[in-house]
């Protein structure tokens, strides 16, 4: 088939542009669990796009709600003006958030949600009179988007290096421990003591200088790294003790990925701020949010003079009416189809069983999972180069779209997934694991 468009102008994000443009993988249509290539080849989407299309592709209800909203109100400034749908959506969202997180600051993406959360944390510390608290603590292998705050607290070296001095941060060690926890189902048993490092970092910097700690409850882009049992609870205790804002970046773990609306609820640890995006609109429209504890909102807002702007931050598209319409329609689908808890039921169990049936095949060294997120890690090849991308391409050639990071393949399918789709994904990964060149 003749190529209809040129691939030259689009500088693709996080992509090997030269490699891609020689052999493009073009997806032009999607429906349900499947994407369709420009050659109309059906591809099973094992990653919900980029961990976001939680309600499955092509949900007409969302498109219809957006079209209706465009006809009603396409846009109105969120600075000093409001629209009902923004307030309605915020009220609806906080019905899902953990107790106390009843305020919503809207953004357009996960990266912006992270920047906003970091600034809210700093504004809160200032408003509280903790004027020396400016330092931020993240975690090795953490991913918090690509803006300067996010890469400062982030812990993925290629995303940080070469971008200058960044903010004043420090980083916890990551919690991946294959030697002790390989092939754990759900949260690993070993490693709670790693949380004590936070106490040491705070002592080192001085509690009076540390404003916030940010972690993903489960690290996604860093390789699907789960917190050891008790680890997040210990971070919570240490942050409370030192008056430090605890931020959970739930851009991936929110909206049903783990079998609950939020990881905070699933793990029964309540942070001060939650960042959200992706599944909040099932990936249909760019949308993000920060969920904020009432006490933080009240402290910042009440600290400003009456009639003055309390927080000098916001986006042209914060609470965009069309995005809110998409979000409301997404929540309707989640509720109607019980998608936010599917991962903790029979389908989540089937996914876990399927994944762990791959143990012992080829060079697989670890399998990790929780709800409807999973990872299969392969041994490092002797040439030292990551093999995940090769595996991704092999799976793609067999009709399954996966995500690769280093030597790890991540899976995060739409929450509408059925057993027959899981069988195909596991079968394909097994075949690819067997056909990889042996060392």
Ligand X SMILES: Cc1ncc(COP(=O)(O)O)c(C=O)c1O
**From 86-94, 142-150, 356-364, 394-402, span contacting ligand X (CB under 6 A):** 142-150
In the complex, the smallest distance separating the C-beta of residue 110 from ligand X, rounded to whole angstroms, is 2
Q: Judged by CB under 6 A, does residue 249 bind ligand X?
A: yes
Comparing CB distances to ligand X, the nearer of 254 and 259 is: 254
In the complex, the smallest distance separating the C-beta of residue 100 from ligand X, rounded to whole angstroms, is 22
Q: Judged by CB under 6 A, does residue 281 bind ligand X?
A: no
**From 14-22, 128-136, 170-178, 245-253, span contacting ligand X (CB under 6 A):** 245-253
- Alpha carbon distance 155, 139 (integer Å): 6
Q: Which residues pair with 400 in a beta bridge?
A: 44
In the complex, the smallest distance separating the C-beta of residue 174 from ligand X, rounded to whole angstroms, is 14
Q: Judged by CB under 6 A, does residue 153 bind ligand X?
A: no
- Alpha carbon distance 399, 376 (integer Å): 18
In the complex, the smallest distance separating the C-beta of residue 144 from ligand X, rounded to whole angstroms, is 5
Q: How many residues sit close enough to ligand X to count as binding (CB under 6 A)? A: 14
- Cα dihedral 65, 67, 73, 79 sign: positive
Q: Judged by CB under 6 A, does residue 145 bind ligand X?
A: yes
Compute CA 48 distance to the chain's CA centroid, rounded to the nearest angstrom: 12
56 CB-side CA count, 13 A: 17
The site string for ligand X over 307-346 (x = CB under 6 A, - otherwise) reads ----------------------------------------
Q: Judged by CB under 6 A, does residue 287 bind ligand X?
A: no
Comparing CB distances to ligand X, the nearer of 45 and 432 is: 45
According to CB under 6 A, which residues from 78 to 137 bind ligand X? Answer: 109-111, 114
According to CB under 6 A, which residues from 212 to 241 bind ligand X? Answer: 216, 220-221
Site of interaction with ligand X (CB under 6 A): 109-111, 114, 143-145, 216, 220-221, 249, 251-252, 277
């Amino acid at each position: 088939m003749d190529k209809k468009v040129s691939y030259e102008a689009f500088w693709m994000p996080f992509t090997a542009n030269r490699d891609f443009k020689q052999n493009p993988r073009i997806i032009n249509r999607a429906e349900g669990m499947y994407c369709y290539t420009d050659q109309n080849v059906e591809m099973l989407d094992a990653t919900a796009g980029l961990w976001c299309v939680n309600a499955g592709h092509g949900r007409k209800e969302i498109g219809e709600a957006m079209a209706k909203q465009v006809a009603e109100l396409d846009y109105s400034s969120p600075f000093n003006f409001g629209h009902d749908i923004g307030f309605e959506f915020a009220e609806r969202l906080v019905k899902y958030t953990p107790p106390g997180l009843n305020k919503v600051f809207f953004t357009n993406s996960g990266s912006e949600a992270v920047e906003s959360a970091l600034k809210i944390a700093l504004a809160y510390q200032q408003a509280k009179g903790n004027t020396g608290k400016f330092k931020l603590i993240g975690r090795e292998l953490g991913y918090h988007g690509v803006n300067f705050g996010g890469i400062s607290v982030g812990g993925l070296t290629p995303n940080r290096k070469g971008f200058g001095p960044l903010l004043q941060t420090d980083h916890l060690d990551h919690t991946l421990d294959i030697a002790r926890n390989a092939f754990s189902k759900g949260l690993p048993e070993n490693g709670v003591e790693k949380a004590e490092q936070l106490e040491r970092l705070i002592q080192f910097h001085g509690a009076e200088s540390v404003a916030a700690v940010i972690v993903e409850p489960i690290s996604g882009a860093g390789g699907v790294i789960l917190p050891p049992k008790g680890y997040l609870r210990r971070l919570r205790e240490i942050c409370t003790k030192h008056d430090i804002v605890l931020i959970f970046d739930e851009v991936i773990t929110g909206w049903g990925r783990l079998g609950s609306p939020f990881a905070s609820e699933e793990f029964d640890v309540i942070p001060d701020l939650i960042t959200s995006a992706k599944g909040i609109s099932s990936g249909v429209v760019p949308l993000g949010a920060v969920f904020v504890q009432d006490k933080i909102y009240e402290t910042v807002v009440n600290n400003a003079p009456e009639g003055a702007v309390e927080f000098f931050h916001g986006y042209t598209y914060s609470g965009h009416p069309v995005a809110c319409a998409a979000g409301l329609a997404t929540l309707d689908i989640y509720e109607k189809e019980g998608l936010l808890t599917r991962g903790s039921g029979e389908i989540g169990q089937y996914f876990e069983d399927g994944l762990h049936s791959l143990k012992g095949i080829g060079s697989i060294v670890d399998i990790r999972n929780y709800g409807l997120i999973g990872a299969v890690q392969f041994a490092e090849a002797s040439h030292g180069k990551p093999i995940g991308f090769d595996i991704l391409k092999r799976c793609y050639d067999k009709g399954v779209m996966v995500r690769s990071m280093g030597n790890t393949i991540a899976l995060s399918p739409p929450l509408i997934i059925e057993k027959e789709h899981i069988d195909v994904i596991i079968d394909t990964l097994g075949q690819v694991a067997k056909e990889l060149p042996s060392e």
